[in-house]
A and B are shown apart, each in its own frame.
Chain A
Amino acid sequence: MNGNDIMQAMTNISDRYIAECAEQKRPKRYLSPVFYGSLAAAAVIAVGVMLAVPKLADSHTAVVQTTSHAPVRQKDDDSIMMQNDIAKEDIAAATDTAYVPLSVKVYTAQNSEPVALTEEPVTIKGDFNPLLSSSKGLGIELAITSQSRFTLKTDGGHFLSWDSQSGAVTNYGQTYSAAGTTIFWTLSSSSPEWDTPVTITIFDENGSPLSEIHITGDESTHTFTAVLQDTKK
């Protein structure tokens, strides 16, 4: 036996490993540990500055800069609530539509660009197939305009995060609560019915439902359809 025998045997490895490489058009760029170190350092400095600035201020007031109003001075105690209220008004005024508490984008972890969800069904084509172990999950990207934290609950599958470098996957179960804005979701191996609609509900920090994401997949066409429904309407 020699290296040639191994090369010959490589021909018949599992199809999924071949497809994984053949279909991966743009692998995630490898970033060195130095980059991550720099990023972590920058984050620590940013947090430090955020914590230090209020303490250095002369008065117990905060300045809120809005897009369409002049800066407004207000008391610290209710600054968050006030900021949120003003932000809501500004967004409503700027768009001349009802206030939307958050925007949601979804994408497949492997190769599709994030797509903003609306109340019209959006069909997205991607390599995401919950039945394949190479598909880590459906990415859900939240841009929350008023909430610092949120909770996601799903009636099917589970939430997970994964490290693209090491491939390590963390399973968060059916409830995910954090201040982060990106999380992955996938069906569990015990419930692989991809064509059964799944509802993911987004709750604000007070536990009130904000919106629901309804997802339905079509295994044969490798597509999924997602809809965002505002539960407050």
Chain B
Amino acid sequence: MEDEAIIKLFFSRSERAVAELAEKYQKLCMKVAVNILGNMQDAEECVNDAYLGVWNTVPPQKPENLTAFLCKIVRNLSLKRCTYNTAEKRKGNYGVCIEELDECLAASDTVESSFDSEELSKLLDRFLEGLDKTNRFLFVKRYWFADSYEALSRSTGMKEQAIRTRLSRIRAGLKKFLAEQEVFA
């Protein structure tokens, strides 16, 4: 079913809306959640909560891009659950992703901690805009979807080492970009 039709079902408060949403996006949502949480049961709960979140927000909201809208909710819920579950102990790809992105920042005591998250998202948008399509695909797949290197290799046909090298260069580029934008204090 087309996204537009699914949104119409939500607007008409049809019970079919969630079923159609799940049928179309269950696999993608589970992938996002499992990549972050590394746990099927928690992932299923987050995905179901995300469907409920869509039910509660549409209407009044009318998402322009249902895929991105839903995935963002799944990601947010998964990140919250991950923080709750693990506290100090990191699981799954998500923890490794964070460690990799730590490289993009200077030592924590020299970094302005109150930098606005929304502003940082806009800067990331600008940084992504400047990447070529392959590099952007790799970066977003790794740090938004938290895909493993193995999964990236399968989906692109590139060797894992080549992907690691590319992402390392992209992170170096991000570090330089953030420094130029004076994100660091």
A78 at the interface (CB under 8 A from B): no
Please indicate the chain A residues that have their CB under 8 angstroms from the CB of B103 in the complex.
3
Bound: A11/B121 CA distance, A = 8
Q: Does more than half of chain B's interface fall in helix, strand or loop, or is it mixed? A: helix
Instruction: List chain A residues, Cβ under 8 A from B56.
Output: none
Interface residues of A, CB < 8 Å — how many? 35
Which of A48-56, A61-69, A160-168 lines the interface with chain B?
A160-168
Interchain CB contact under 8 A, A17 and B136: yes
Report B-chain residues with C-beta under 8 Å of the C-beta of A165: 132, 134
Q: Quick one: which of A1-43 are within 8 Å of B by CB? A: 1-24, 27, 29-31
Tally of A-B Cβ pairs under 8 angstroms = 128
Per a CB cutoff under 8 Å, which of B94, B112, B117, B133 touches A164? B133
Indicate with 1 or 0, residue by residue over B94-130, a CB within 8 angstroms of chain A CB atoms. 1001111111110010011101011011001100100
Asked if B11 CB lies within 8 Å of chain A CBs, one says no
Query: Which chain B residue lies CB-closest to A11?
Result: B75
B71 with A13: CB separation less than 8 A: no
Asked if A59 lies at the interface with its beta carbon under 8 angstroms from chain B, I say no
Q: Which residues of the partner chain B approach A220 to less than 8 Å between Cβ atoms?
A: 4
**In the complex, per-residue mask of B128-156: 1 if CB is within 8 Å of any chain A CB, else 0:** 10001110110011011100000000011
- Interface status of B81 (Cβ within 8 A of chain A): no
Closest Cβ of chain A to B28, distance in Å, is 6
B79 in contact with A15 (CB, 8 Å): no
Contact assessment for B143 and A7 in the assembled complex, using a CB-CB cutoff below 8 Å: yes
Distance between B166 CB and nearest chain A CB, rounded to angstroms = 10
Tell me the complex Cα distance, A4–B105, Å: 11
Residue of B nearest to A136 (CB): B133
- The answer to the question of B181 belonging to the interface, with a C-beta cut-off of 8 Å to chain A, is no
Cα distance, A23 to B112, chains bound together (Å)? 36
* Chain A residues with CB under 8 A of B100: 3
Asked if B156 and A29 make an inter-chain contact with CB atoms under 8 angstroms apart, the answer reads yes
| Chain B CB within 8 A of A221 CB | yes
Closest to A166 in B: B132
Question: A2-B105, A14-B128, A166-B132 are known contacts. Are A21 and B69 too (CB-CB below 8 A)?
Answer: no
Q: Is the CB of A27 within 8 A of B155?
A: yes
> B residues within 8 A CB of A30?
134, 156-158, 162
Contact yes or no, B101 A6, CB < 8 A: yes
Q: B118 touching A2 by the CB < 8 A rule?
A: no
Instruction: Give the residue name and chain of the A residue nearest to B113 (CB).
Output: A1
Q: Which A residues lie within 8 Å of B182 (CB)?
A: none
List chain A positions with a Cβ less than 8 A from chain B: 1-24, 27, 29-31, 164-168, 220-221
For the complex of A and B, 6 pairs with smallest distance between CB atoms: A3-B101, A15-B68, A167-B132, A29-B157, A3-B102, A9-B120
Q: A3-B98, A17-B144 are in contact. List 4 more A-B contacts (CB 8 A).
A: A14-B128, A16-B68, A19-B68, A22-B71
Enumerate 8 A-B pairs (CB-CB under 8 Å) in ascending A order: A3-B98, A3-B102, A13-B121, A15-B65, A20-B140, A21-B144, A24-B137, A30-B156
